Structure 1
Amino acid sequence: MSMAPHTRWLWLTALFGLAVATVDLATGSATSLIGTLLVCPLLASTQQGGRATALVSAAALALAIAISVAEDDLEQGDALLRLLVLAMASVYATWVAHRTADHRRQLEQVSQTAQRAIIKPTDFRIGGLEVSARYHSAAALSQIGGDLYAFAHTPMGLRLLIGDVRGKGLPAVHLSAAAIGHFRDAAYTQPDLLDVVRELETRLAGDLGPEDFITAVIAEVAPDHVRLVNCGHHAPLHLPAAGIPALLVPPERTTPIGLAPAPVIQQLPLAEGDRLLFYTDGLAEARDRTGTMPDVQDIASLCTGAASLESALDGVMDAVGRHTRRATSDDIALILLQPAPARVTLPQQGESDGDIDAAAPAGQ
């Protein structure tokens, strides 16, 4: 089993300290290397928090004192000076580690709050469809990414976007927000999915850097069919009520948004009980310790085995966590939908039949 990066750094620091002590004792009092032990707290401060750095600093100082006692030079001026420098370096390293960890936590909270304000988990029923969406952050500050999804209940039907912005951090969050805003505008005003893609490409030109792009699937879903375009993204998974699960691979692959895509429209009929899973590479490329990615059939069984969409997505998230042992370095965005089962709802007094199921999706 491989160690976490922080644990490896602690072991490296400990091995360095032991190596210094071994060489120093082997060469005798003629050569003193205890001054080099200040590398231990400084090295720890680059990867650890204040508490761990303080422990490493204390261990390094104790080791230096033990070496000085063993070599009987504790009372010599140069040895005391080295110990004093080591102690001062330890205090400074601990202070830096504490400040850095605190700053990192603040940035992480701001970034995650910003991203969750843009992409919120949601469950809704509208236009003869049931929809559930989930987002999971990899949680490390440097890995906060640009996974995104959005919905628009338009006269053409329910339109959705799921995508992945190239890059990490706050720039990716900013670009995700821009893409969602432009998608919602285009989804309501453009009559055709290809027009939505062209509008997104045009509007995002001012937000995309020279090397930026967004892989995306844009879909238009009705209870009896789905139309979609795929711009360099992972193919959605069709889960028929009766039949074999299949990836909706586009007949012609094209580039992501930002790189002049030329997608083609795919259309697929939907039957009662069918489900569609849209996802980002946090699911498609979730590798375990051996580099093995999730099996499509396993994901399909999780999505169809649960009665509710919410339970199905929770099961997928748990399975990914077990598969990667919570070591995934990428965010995950999921959308699962199905034609809504028929239900009978008596209108309340003053309601018309058209008001039933008129709730809008969260965040729309």
Structure 2
Amino acid sequence: MPKGSSTVWLWLTALIGAGLAALDLAMGPATSLIGLLLVCPMVASAQQGGRVTATVSAATLALAVGVSAAEHDLGRGDTPVRLLILAVASAYATGVARRSTRHQRQLKRIAAVAERAIIRPTDFRIAGLEVSARYRSAAPQAHIGGDLYAFANTPMGLRLLIGDVRGKGLSTVHLSAAAIGHFRDAAYTQPDLLDVVRELDGRLAGDLGPEDFITVLIAEVAPDHVRLVNCGHHPPLLVPGTGAPTLLVPPLSATPIGLGPAPVVHEAPLTDGDRLLFYTDGLAEARDRTGAMPDLRKVARLCAAADLEDALDTVLDAVDRHTGHTTAADDIALILLEAAPAPTQQPAPVPRQEQGAADPEAPSAVGQ
């Protein structure tokens, strides 16, 4: 739970306890409300961990004892029974909170393993191309994001997918894994990129809910050209060896996967030294304190670093500085590739199972 929300619930629990105690004292010894104080540990167990719930339970029990003592009712009537019930309920609430905390930690570990299995950093060289990819979740300690990427070394050339599943959480893991698996099947079997999109859209139809969709960009890359099919995704950034950077915007816009896309294939030439940056919302829509988003021309300059891996690390660091090192609002997936002369030795193919998943002036590195 976010820290702010947690604090609100703690204050609410304190107000409930204080209110019940004050009302009990105002009504006098004839009426006892201490039994109602068990609401406090129950509320705490639903929103807090075991340690906080235990603290709230102890404070609640002390408050009940104090109210009973103030009314000189501590050892009379059914007050001891009420206090015993409150103590048992508090112990139960603390146990529930501790079990819930352990369960959540286990889910987070499972989620982290699943995330690394679906999308992981990738660096390889193949057929006159050098490729590097990175993924960073907005909150890896809490949930898995919906960004995804994958590669397929097909007879038609190197094909890649980058996309963004609408929403967050464990449900996106299923959609991300399904999209990657269907893309890889279609990329190897369909010679036409448009058929790859059609098959991807058709296969995902049974997985997507009525409000679900996935923005995707599929590319077929050769050392001298790139062919692109864009379904509602951010256009890639061409960083030429010489000249100004260019966004490869499709001639016609298309809807995302799940919304009946009708994309077109468009092509751009590549020469030795040209680089292509594929990215998701986490880069394109990262905002600084004024709400300004990154200037992709400055991002292009960062992508011109000598080493692809260093270039991506530099871009991620610049995004952190641009946002003031605050918690990212979205995940970031990046693919940077370069058209390079073929190596003298035979390159190792991409295995079919390989897949992706404080200076105050520094924000100007990617800012407008």
TM-score w.r.t. structure 2 length? 0.82
C-alpha displacement of 1:6: 2.4
Query: Relative to structure 1, is the Cα distance of residues 258 and 67 closer, same or farther in structure 2, using a 3 angstrom cutoff?
Result: same
Does residue 58 of the first structure (1) align with residue 48 of the second (2)? no
Aligned residue pairs total: 351
Gaps of 5+ in 1: 346-352
Report which stretch shifted further, 25-34 or 65-74. Answer: 25-34
Query: Relative to structure 1, is the Cα distance of residues 120 and 3 closer, same or farther in structure 2, using a 3 angstrom cutoff?
Result: closer
* 1:287 and 1:328 in contact (8 A); partners too: no
Query: Relative to structure 1, is the Cα distance of residues 282 and 43 closer, same or farther in structure 2, using a 3 angstrom cutoff?
Result: farther
Give secondary structure in 2 for the equivalent of 1:260.
Answer: coil
Does residue 363 of the first structure (1) align with residue 354 of the second (2)? yes
Superposed CA RMSD: 3.0
- Taking the aligned partners of 2:298 and 2:4, their CA distance within structure 1 comes to 27
Give secondary structure in 2 for the equivalent of 1:149.
Answer: strand
- 1:349 corresponds to: none
Does residue 146 of the first structure (1) align with residue 146 of the second (2)? yes
- Taking the aligned partners of 2:55 and 2:62, their CA distance within structure 1 comes to 10
* 1:303 and 1:309 in contact (8 A); partners too: no
Does residue 331 of the first structure (1) align with residue 331 of the second (2)? yes
Counterpart mapping for 1:292-331 below 5 A: 292=291, 294-297=293-296, 300=299, 303-304=302-303, 306-321=305-320, 323=323, 325-328=325-328, 330-331=330-331
Q: Which amino acid aligns with 2:313?
A: D
Query: Relative to structure 1, is the Cα distance of residues 83 and 321 closer, same or farther in structure 2, using a 3 angstrom cutoff?
Result: farther
C-alpha displacement of 1:109: 2.1
Give secondary structure in 1 for the equivalent of 2:47.
Answer: coil
* 2:135 and 2:333 in contact (8 A); partners too: yes
Give secondary structure in 2 for the equivalent of 1:40.
Answer: helix
- Report Cα offsets for 1:297-354 as digits up to 9, x if no partner: 48606742643222332344345456275533543322122223x58x6xxxxxxx4x
C-alpha displacement of 1:91: 1.0
* 1:302 and 1:316 in contact (8 A); partners too: no
Query: Relative to structure 1, is the Cα distance of residues 25 and 129 closer, same or farther in structure 2, using a 3 angstrom cutoff?
Result: farther
C-alpha displacement of 1:161: 0.2
Q: Which amino acid aligns with 1:363?
A: E
* 1:165 and 1:213 in contact (8 A); partners too: yes
Q: Which amino acid aligns with 1:150?
A: A
Give secondary structure in 2 for the equivalent of 1:108.
Answer: helix
Query: Relative to structure 1, is the Cα distance of residues 95 and 148 closer, same or farther in structure 2, using a 3 angstrom cutoff?
Result: same
Query: Relative to structure 1, is the Cα distance of residues 212 and 125 closer, same or farther in structure 2, using a 3 angstrom cutoff?
Result: same
- Taking the aligned partners of 1:122 and 1:262, their CA distance within structure 2 comes to 30
Gaps of 5+ in 2: 356-368
- 2:191 corresponds to: 191
- Report Cα offsets for 1:114-163 as digits up to 9, x if no partner: 2321222111121222211122232355x424321100122332210011
* 1:35 and 1:86 in contact (8 A); partners too: yes
Counterpart mapping for 1:283-298 below 5 A: 283-286=283-286, 292=291, 294-297=293-296
- Taking the aligned partners of 2:5 and 2:266, their CA distance within structure 1 comes to 44
* 1:158 and 1:221 in contact (8 A); partners too: yes
Query: Relative to structure 1, is the Cα distance of residues 287 and 61 closer, same or farther in structure 2, using a 3 angstrom cutoff?
Result: farther
- Taking the aligned partners of 1:81 and 1:118, their CA distance within structure 2 comes to 55
- Taking the aligned partners of 2:3 and 2:170, their CA distance within structure 1 comes to 28
- 2:175 corresponds to: 175
Query: Relative to structure 1, is the Cα distance of residues 301 and 64 closer, same or farther in structure 2, using a 3 angstrom cutoff?
Result: farther
- Taking the aligned partners of 1:320 and 1:261, their CA distance within structure 2 comes to 31
C-alpha displacement of 1:233: 1.6
- Taking the aligned partners of 1:127 and 1:16, their CA distance within structure 2 comes to 68
* 2:285 and 2:294 in contact (8 A); partners too: no
Query: Relative to structure 1, is the Cα distance of residues 10 and 314 closer, same or farther in structure 2, using a 3 angstrom cutoff?
Result: farther
- 1:94 corresponds to: 94
- Taking the aligned partners of 2:60 and 2:336, their CA distance within structure 1 comes to 54
Report which stretch shifted further, 26-35 or 170-179. Answer: 26-35
Query: Relative to structure 1, is the Cα distance of residues 224 and 29 closer, same or farther in structure 2, using a 3 angstrom cutoff?
Result: farther
- Taking the aligned partners of 2:16 and 2:287, their CA distance within structure 1 comes to 32
Counterpart mapping for 1:89-238 below 5 A: 89-137=89-137, 138-139=139-140, 143-238=143-238
C-alpha displacement of 1:22: 4.2
Q: Which segments of structure 1 move beyond 6 Å, counting only runs of 4 or more?
A: none
Report which stretch shifted further, 111-120 or 40-49. Answer: 111-120
- Taking the aligned partners of 1:335 and 1:13, their CA distance within structure 2 comes to 48
Counterpart mapping for 1:261-276 below 5 A: 261-276=261-276
TM-score w.r.t. structure 1 length? 0.83
- Taking the aligned partners of 2:49 and 2:217, their CA distance within structure 1 comes to 41
C-alpha displacement of 1:356: 3.1
* 2:245 and 2:300 in contact (8 A); partners too: no
Report which stretch shifted further, 104-113 or 40-49. Answer: 104-113
